[in-house]
């Protein structure tokens, strides 16, 4: 096993990738390093910023050095694990490369890469159906052929998933690539989609790939490096990232934050306390020559990125990744569209969200999108599939969820029990809020009373109640309503406890 998972939250996970040059904790972002010229020396990426693994381009090394085959670690001056891309990005951008699948596999072995990538055929973000199908089939063909080109068993290999926006092709690609001997799977061609801020499409692609890949293999999201979208990608199950954004943005005078990008000339304050910002200040940076300022701005961008990865890991560890998602995804309308897309995949998140081993903490609900989080989906499913009313309690009384928690210690619950005289045939349940139906005997179990929410959360109790009443075969059911008319099949609406008493008799 080259990959072990230690902790998880949603579909996100903290794991360890084992390479021949040491272990790498995931989620991990690999800075893209130019093998010839760099804004920041690669060794600084490790010693100052803590990046234990970087990525560079074997095709550029091949074009620059030819058959010399220099050791990639000596060339870059980086002594940790190095992943090398194959030139497929150049193939996407320029339409061709001066190499072939066999040569680039053997070349990556020759330069002592720790993780290699086959020369796949990228789909891109705009490919028509016929073209996309070709990229999938050709990449699978090259992946199968790559097995016979390999001779170094200590090296890890990455098999990219293609298909682009054509989700059935992404599914086909993931299923077939998952049967080939790879240790990592990058999701190919997301860069153009991310450049368009089409986050719903990106969500679709990631989930489709994850559902059809072996779960023990890390998923690498090519070209993803802006801090504001990392939490979303990790929550969906991405383990590795790579990006040159830190340097490209700096060259263009763009200053990263966890939630957006600011043009450097628009800054009136430095909203950051990293060593670059704290050590120079805005005036100090403005006084520097352009090239020197560019290098410092790239370092700032890296500090922000490192901090965001740590924030994500902390959220996974304490079980608050959903809350972090809610915060980050509201930083941009298009990103929020991607967040809302999670409602299509609530079952996927619930299935992958660990039930055991997570820290118990209160949950926050902001709006109805929040009710698609795994804890709610899990409760609704279990109430539907596993729950049976207590024996003998065949008269259902439904009360709106009170403000007091736990609900079975609230004033209204105590009053109902007192006025009904402790009758053994009465079964009190609560309805409303994020969780829908909550039997009173379960009201103190986590997380049914351990949450905070904004007012007006509708939930899905109207849809769940008729089947709940029918499956539990109540002789009579009453629902206490306070405002407005509520019609629930199988339950009589009442407006006061007196009406409940009259109905019960």
| Residue numbers annotated as active site | 85
Are β-strands 254-256 and 261-263 bridged in parallel, bridged antiparallel, or unpaired? Answer: antiparallel
Low-confidence winner among 55-69, 90-104, 268-282 (lowest mean pLDDT): 90-104
Dihedral sign, CA of 112, 162, 339, 15? negative
Domain borders along the chain are 3-14+34-252+334-346, 364-504
- Rounded to whole angstroms, how far apart are CA atoms 294 and 253? 7
Minimum mean pLDDT among 61-70, 98-107, 145-154, 234-243: which range?
Answer: 61-70
Q: What is the C-alpha to C-alpha distance for residues 122 and 116, in angstroms, rounded to an integer?
A: 16
Which strands sit side by side in the sheet containing 54-57, from one edge to the other? 54-57, 82-85, 115-117, 156-158
For residue range 25-54, list pLDDT tens digits in order.
Answer: 999 999 999 988 888 999 999 999 999 999
Mean pLDDT, range 83-106, rounded to an integer: 85
How far is the CA of 126 from the CAs of 130, 131, 171, 192, 227, in angstroms? 12, 10, 18, 8, 25
- Of 274, 250, 273, nearest to 262 (Cα)? 250
> How is residue 87 annotated by DSSP?
S
Over residues 445-465, mean pLDDT? 83
User: How far is C-alpha 423 from the geometric centre of its chain's CA atoms?
Assistant: 49
- For the chain, percent of residues with pLDDT exceeding 70: 98
Do the first three CATH levels of 3-14+34-252+334-346 and 364-504 match, i.e. the same topology? no
The answer, yes or no, to whether residue 504 has pLDDT greater than 90, is no
Range name among 29-38, 270-279, 290-299 with the lowest pLDDT average: 29-38
pLDDT of residue 458: 67
484 Ramachandran zone, left/alpha/beta (phi>0; psi -120 to 50)? left
Report, as an integer, the average pLDDT of 139-144.
Answer: 97
| pLDDT given at position 263 | 95
Does pTM top 0.75 for this prediction? yes
Q: How confident is the model at residue 485 (pLDDT cuts 50, 70, 90)?
A: low
Predicted pLDDT of residue 28: 97
Decide if pLDDT at 463 tops 70. yes
pLDDT band at 468 (very low <50, low <70, confident <90, very high): very high
The pLDDT confidence band at residue 501, using thresholds 50, 70 and 90, is confident
Q: What is the pLDDT of residue 358?
A: 73
Residue 433: predicted pLDDT: 86
Class (C level, CATH) for 364-504: alpha beta
**For range 360-381, the mean pLDDT:** 90
- Asked if pLDDT for residue 484 goes beyond 70, the answer is no
pLDDT-derived band at 135 (thresholds 50, 70, 90) equals very high
Per residue in 322-353, pLDDT (tens digit) is 999 999 999 999 999 999 999 999 999 999 99
> If residue 297 lies in a helix (H) or strand (E), which one and from where to where?
helix 290-318
pLDDT at position 36 is 83
Question: What gap in Å lies between CA 362 and CA 446, rounded to an integer?
Answer: 9
Sheet strands side by side (includes 185-187):
28-31, 240-243, 219-221, 185-187
pLDDT given at position 124: 87
pLDDT at 459: 65
**What is the distance between the alpha carbons of residues 75 and 71, in angstroms, rounded to a whole number?**
6
Least confident of 13-27, 218-232, 264-278, 422-436: 422-436
Architecture of domain 3-14+34-252+334-346: Alpha-Beta Barrel (3.20)
* Statement: residue 1 has pLDDT above 80: no
Comparing 83-97, 255-269, 421-435, the range with the smallest average pLDDT is 83-97
Tokens 């309805």 label which residue?
431
For 59, the token pair is 């095709």
Residue 238 has pLDDT above 90, yes or no: yes
CA-to-CA separations, 333 to 80, 153, 199, 259, 339, in angstroms, rounded: 38, 46, 10, 12, 10
| Secondary structure (H, E, C), 446-477 | CCCCCEEECCCCCCCHHHHHHHHHHHHCCCEE
Least confident window among 28-32, 114-118, 430-434: 430-434
- Range scoring the smallest mean pLDDT among 233-237, 308-312, 454-458, 476-480: 454-458
pLDDT at residue 227 is higher than 70: yes
- pLDDT at residue 97, rounded to an integer: 80
Tokens of 431: 């309805």
Mean pLDDT of the chain, nearest integer: 92
């Amino acid at each position: 096993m080259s990959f072990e998972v230690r902790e998880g939250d949603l579909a996100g996970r903290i794991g360890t990738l084992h390479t021949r040059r040491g272990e790498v904790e995931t989620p991990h972002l690999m800075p893209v390093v130019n093998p010839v010229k760099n804004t920041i020396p690669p060794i600084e990426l490790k010693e100052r910023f803590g990046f234990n693994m970087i990525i560079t381009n074997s095709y550029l090394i091949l074009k620059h050095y030819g058959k010399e085959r220099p050791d990639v670690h000596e060339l870059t001056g980086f002594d940790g694990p190095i992943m090398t891309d194959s030139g497929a990005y150049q193939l996407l951008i320029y339409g061709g490369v001066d190499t072939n699948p066999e040569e680039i596999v053997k070349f990556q072995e020759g330069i002592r890469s720790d993780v290699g990538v086959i020369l796949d055929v990228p789909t891109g973000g705009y490919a028509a159906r016929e073209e996309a199908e070709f990229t999938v089939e050709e990449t699978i063909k090259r992946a199968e052929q790559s097995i016979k080109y390999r001779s170094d068993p200590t090296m890890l290999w990455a098999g990219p998933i293609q298909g682009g926006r054509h989700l059935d092709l992404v599914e086909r690609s993931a299923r077939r690539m998952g049967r080939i001997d790879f240790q990592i799977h990058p999701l190919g061609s997301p860069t153009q989609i991310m450049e368009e801020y089409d986050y719903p499409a990106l969500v679709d692609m990631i989930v489709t790939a994850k559902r059809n890949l072996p779960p023990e293999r890390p998923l690498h999201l090519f070209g993803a490096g802006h801090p504001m979208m990392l939490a979303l990608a990790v929550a969906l199950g991405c383990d590795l990232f790579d990006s040159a954004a830190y340097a490209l943005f700096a060259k263009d005078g763009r200053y990263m934050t966890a939630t957006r990008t600011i043009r450097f000339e628009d800054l009136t304050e430095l909203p950051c306390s990293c060593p670059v910002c704290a050590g120079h200040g805005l005036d100090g940076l403005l006084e520097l020559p352009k090239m020197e300022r560019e290098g410092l701005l790239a370092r700032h961008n890296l500090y922000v990125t490192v901090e965001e990865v740590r924030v994500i890991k902390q959220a996974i560890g304490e079980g608050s990744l959903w809350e972090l998602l809610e915060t980050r995804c509201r930083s941009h309308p298009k990103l929020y569209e991607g967040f809302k897309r999670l409602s299509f995949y609530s079952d996927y998140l619930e299935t992958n969200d660990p039930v055991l081993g997570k820290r118990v903490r209160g949950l926050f609900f902001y709006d109805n999108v929040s009710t698609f989080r795994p804890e709610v989906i899990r409760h609704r499913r279990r109430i539907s599939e596993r729950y049976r009313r207590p024996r003998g309690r065949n008269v259902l009384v439904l009360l709106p969820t009170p403000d007091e928690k736990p609900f079975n210690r609230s004033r209204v619950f105590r009053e109902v029990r007192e006025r009904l005289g402790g009758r053994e045939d009465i079964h009190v349940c609560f309805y409303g809020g994020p969780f829908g139906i909550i039997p009173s005997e379960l009201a103190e179990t986590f997380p049914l009373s351990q949450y905070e929410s904004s007012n007006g959360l509708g939930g899905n109790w109207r849809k769940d109640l008729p089947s709940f009443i029918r499956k539990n075969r109540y002789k009579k059911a009453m629902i206490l309503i306070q405002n407005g008319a509520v019609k629930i099949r199988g339950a009589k609406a009442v407006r006061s406890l007196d009406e409940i008493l009259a109905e019960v008799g």
